[in-house]
Structure 1
Amino acid sequence: MAGIARKYAASPLGEAISAARDLRGVSQRKLGVLIGQTSAGLVSRWESGERTPSVDDVQAIIDALEIEGEEADRLLALAAGVGQPRRFSVTLPERRAELAELLAAERTATKVTHLAPLAIPGVLQTADVIRTQMHEAGVPETEIEERVLTRIGRRDLITRRNPARLEVVLGEAAIRYRIGGPAVWADQLRYLIEMGELPNVELRLVPYSAGWSPLLVGSFLLIDSDEAPSIVSLDLHGSGLTLRSPEDIKSHRRDAEATQEKAMSPAETAEFIAEILHDLEQG
C-alpha cells in the first residue's frame, strides 16, 4: 500500500555483514563502492533482509573488508546456506564454504566412514602424493604448498588426543594407480599400512574379484558426531554436494555397511597391500 514502508527482518547473514562492516568503520555506501556495486542502497537492503547477497557477493565483501579466518568462514557458510538438507556447491566461494563446513564437522567427529573406490582418502595420503596430484591437476605453484598443509592438517582427525574412529573402504584401483612414480607410491603404500595399524583406524579393501557393491556407485564421506547432526559429503568433478536429511544419511549408511560386507578384513587388507608393495619394490 502506498505511503506505508515495508519492513523486513534482518537475516543472520545480513546481521553478520553489518557487524563486520561496523567493526572496520566502513559505511554502507563505502562498502558498495569497494565491491563495485552501482546501487548505493544495495548493501543496506542486504543487511536489512530485503535482499539476499549471493555467495560471490559475500566473497567480494570478505575481500574488500580483508576478513580472514573463522569470521570469513562463517560469512561464507551463511551465504552458502549451510544446514540445508541438500546443498550443491559449484563456485569457488561455495566450495570454500563447503570445505569450511567439512573441516568444522571433522573437528567434532566421533566417527568418519569413507568409501573410496578410486583414490586413497586425503587424510591417509603422503605429502608427496598430495603434491603430485596438485601438480597434475594444474593447481598454481603458489597455492600448492598451502593446500598440501591444509590436507595434512586434516590428519588431526585421527591423531588428536580424542581421535575419531575412521573406517575406510578402498577399491582395489585406489592402491593400483601409481601416483608420483614407483618410489613415491611405495612410500604411500607403507604409510597406508602404518595408518591401518592405529587402533582407531579400520582399513578394508574391496578386490576386483568381489563383483558389484555400492562402492562402484562412487565415493562419499559420512561424518557422525555427538555434537552435531550427521552429514554426507560427496566430492564431484569441480563441485560438491552436502547431504543432511535423515533419508540421505540412512541411505548412505546402508550403502557403507553393504560395502563393508563385500570387503576384506583389516588383516587381509594389510596383507594384500603388502604384497603389492613387495612387487613394486622388486620392480
Structure 2
Amino acid sequence: MARTPKARALGGALRQAREDRGLKLREFSSMLGRDAGVLSRWETGERTPKPEQVAQILTALGVLGDRYEEIVSLAYGTDAPQWVATRLPDQKQQLSALVDYEQNASEITEVAPLLIPGLLQTSGYIRAIMSGGGVPAGEIATRAAIRIGRKDVITRDRPAHFLALVGEGALRQAVGGRDTMLDQLKYLLDMSKRPNIVCRIVPHSSGWNPSLEGGFLLIKQYKLDPVVVLENRRSGLFLHEYGDITAYQHAVDQVAESALDVRQSRILLHEAIKRVEVRSE
C-alpha cells in the first residue's frame, strides 16, 4: 500500500511521541517486544499499525488524554482515497502533515485566485487574515509563527521549486489596509525574483480557468507520490490517488495557459504597487 497522507501523519505522530521520551528506535522496539523494522515502517507510513497496536505503543510511551485520542483516531481510514478533516484535532493533524510534505518537497505549486499564496505572505498580511477570520487573539501569534516557519522550504539552501499562480484579484484585495497590502505586494515582487520561485499572475481578462473553482496546493516529493491539499473555512482535504493528482495537474496546466508570463506578471505587480502608493499619499 502506498504511503497515504494519513498514514504518514500517523507515523510521524508515533515517531514524535517516541522521540519525546528520548528513546531510540531499537531501544523502544526491545521494550515493546516488536521488530525494529516493523516499527520503522509504521513510523514512515509505509505500513499502518492497527488501532490496538497504536494504543499499545502510546500506552508504553505514557501518552494520555487528548493527545492519545488524537493519535489513535489517525489509525482509522488510513487507506481511504481522501483524508477529510472537519474537527479541530483532525485539522491540527493535517497541518502537521502539510508541514511535513512541504519540508520534504521538490516542487510546490499553489493556485491562489483570491489571496496571496501562504508561502509568500508577510507577517502583517497573515495576521490580518487570521484576525479577520475570527482566530482567537491568543492563538494568532502561534499560528502566524507556524505559517512564517513554513517559508523555510523555499528560502533555505537547496530550496523547493515554487510555482505561484496568483489571481489578479489577490493584488487588489486590500487585506489589512493600505500599509499592510503595500508591504505584501513589495515582498511578493522581491520573492518572485528568487531563482527557485516563479510567480505568474492570472489576469481578470483571462476568462474561465480552473482557478475560478478555488485554490489548491500540489506538492511533489522525490520518489514519493504527490498530494493535493484543499482548504476551506471549516475543513481540509488531502487527495493522493492517481486520478485526482492527474486531474489537478491538468488544472495547473490550464491555469498556467491563462496566466501572464513572468515579465508581464512583474509589470502588473509594479502597477499594483504604484496604485496602492498613490492611494496612500
Normalising by structure 1, what TM-score?
A: 0.77
Residue in 2 aligned with 1:17?
55
Structure 1: runs of 5 or more not aligned? 1-9, 36-58, 63-71
Q: Which amino acid aligns with 2:59?
A: R
Please point out which of 82, 85, 109 is paired with 1:89: 85
Instruction: Check the 8 A contact 1:169/1:205 in 2, yes or no.
Output: yes
Instruction: Check the 8 A contact 1:123/1:154 in 2, yes or no.
Output: yes
CA offsets 1:111-155 (integer angstroms, 9 cap, x no match): 011111111111101001111111111211111100010000110
1:146 aligns with 2:109: no
Higher CA-based Rg: 1
1:195 aligns with 2:191: yes
Kindly state the Cα deviation for residue 273 of structure 1 after the two structures are TM-superposed.
0.9
Distance 2:271 2:78 in 1: 44
Distance 1:198 1:76 in 2: 42
Instruction: Check the 8 A contact 1:88/1:242 in 2, yes or no.
Output: yes
Q: Which amino acid aligns with 1:189?
A: L
Regions of 4+ moved over 6 Å: none
What RMSD in Å do the two structures reach over aligned CA positions? 1.9
Structure 2: runs of 5 or more not aligned? 1-47
Equivalent runs, 1:100-119 vs 2, <5 Å:
100-119=96-115
SS of 2:107's equivalent?
strand
Please point out which of 225, 233, 237 is paired with 1:237: 233
Change (3 A) 1:83 1:236: farther
Kindly state the Cα deviation for residue 87 of structure 1 after the two structures are TM-superposed.
1.4
Distance 1:198 1:11 in 2: 42
SS of 2:159's equivalent?
coil
Please point out which of 157, 174, 177 is paired with 1:178: 174
Residue in 1 aligned with 2:68?
61
Sequence identity of aligned pairs in percent? 35
Number of equivalent positions: 232
Distance 1:160 1:168 in 2: 18
Instruction: Check the 8 A contact 1:234/1:242 in 2, yes or no.
Output: yes
Change (3 A) 1:146 1:155: same
Normalising by structure 2, what TM-score?
A: 0.78
